[in-house]
Amino acid sequence: MIDLHTHSHESDGSWSPARLVEEALGLGLDALAITDHDTLSGYDGAAGQARTAGLDLVCAISLSTKLPSKDKPQGKNVHVLAYFLDGPPAAEFRNWLVGNLASRRDRNQRLALKLQSIGLDGKLEEAEALGRTLTGRPHFARVLVQKGYVTSIPQAFDQFLDESARAYVPRREPSFADAVGRISAAGGLPVLAHPFRLAKSGPDRFDILIREMIEQGLRGIEAYHSDHTPAVVRRFLGLASAYGLAVTGGSDFHGETKPGVALGKGRDGNLAVPREVLDRLRDSNSR
């Protein structure tokens, strides 16, 4: 069994990269990918430990992108996973990530001001103190919970931080085409994360979107995910084979930040990603 989608405390998960590696070993996972948002520092920090302990740690990242669409002029949110099966990307890609972190900090400053403007005491420094390489909305959500404005992280999103909520401020994000282009140029495999979210727009529309994304350089799809029922998994496996996309899978584990999702096992054990999934990725990558 493997897990190719996890987040550490370097982005918005609650476990350290070291703990992820230890627990993956404890579970007997054959491979793990730390797919932190916008940063490789989780992978960088755990690579040596994993090598010594004999865990196959795949270099990976998760990126939020915007896919232009007619019904949403500002672009649809599309999460892309990137797998660097031949090893970490070179400096050019890493430098691009640093630029993305700067635009995130700019958004965070504006978000803190917006919270203050509606009478909430949520300071940037307080959110940053909860994060490490990266500070995101989940850290602001925790500040709002700690201060008693809301009772849970989902409620913080519903009332204040969600795209449709009162304190939302947009962030400059790379376009889907730019992100997948850069991932491929850096030797990575660009994969559509949790496709079920996008598929909610309806089967016809989703088919159009998938074709658009393939034209723009998408090469894989996360068929196995904690939010996918067995029927949904089958549907995406079929779609992958119809369009010649690589298949990946993972829990989207965030530790205590996302209760109910277990490392390697998903929700109530609904996930068991076979090791052959990674073998196939490597096979097709070396061809």
For binding to ligand AMP (CB under 6 A), which residues are involved?
A: 12, 37, 64, 136-138, 153-154, 157, 162, 171
> What does the block give as tokens for 237?
């496996």
Torsion sign over Cα 169, 36, 266, 263: negative
The total number of residues written for the chain in this structure: 287
Give me the helices (H) in 122-275, please: 124-130, 137-146, 153-156, 176-185, 195-199, 203-215, 230-243
- Which residues have CB under 8 Å from 118's CB, separation 6+? 160, 166, 167
Residue 239 interacts with which of Zn ion, ligand AMP, none, CB < 5 to 8 Å by class: none
Number of residues that bind Zn ion (CB under 5 A): 2
The interface region with Zn ion, picked from 3-11, 15-23, 52-60, 78-86 by CB under 5 A, is 3-11
Shortest spacing between CB 162 and ligand AMP, in angstroms: 5
Residue 136 interacts with which of ligand AMP, Zn ion, none, CB < 5 to 8 Å by class: ligand AMP
The residue (of 5 and 37) whose beta carbon lies closer to ligand AMP is 37
Give the C-alpha separation, 161 to 89, whole Å: 32
Residue 153 interacts with which of Zn ion, ligand AMP, none, CB < 5 to 8 Å by class: ligand AMP
DSSP label of 175? B
Residue 258 touches Zn ion, criterion: CB under 5 A: no
Shortest spacing between CB 29 and ligand AMP, in angstroms: 22
Residue 7 touches Zn ion, criterion: CB under 5 A: yes
Give the C-alpha separation, 79 to 16, whole Å: 22
Residue facing Zn ion at closest CB distance: 12
Contacts with Zn ion by CB under 5 A lie at 7, 12
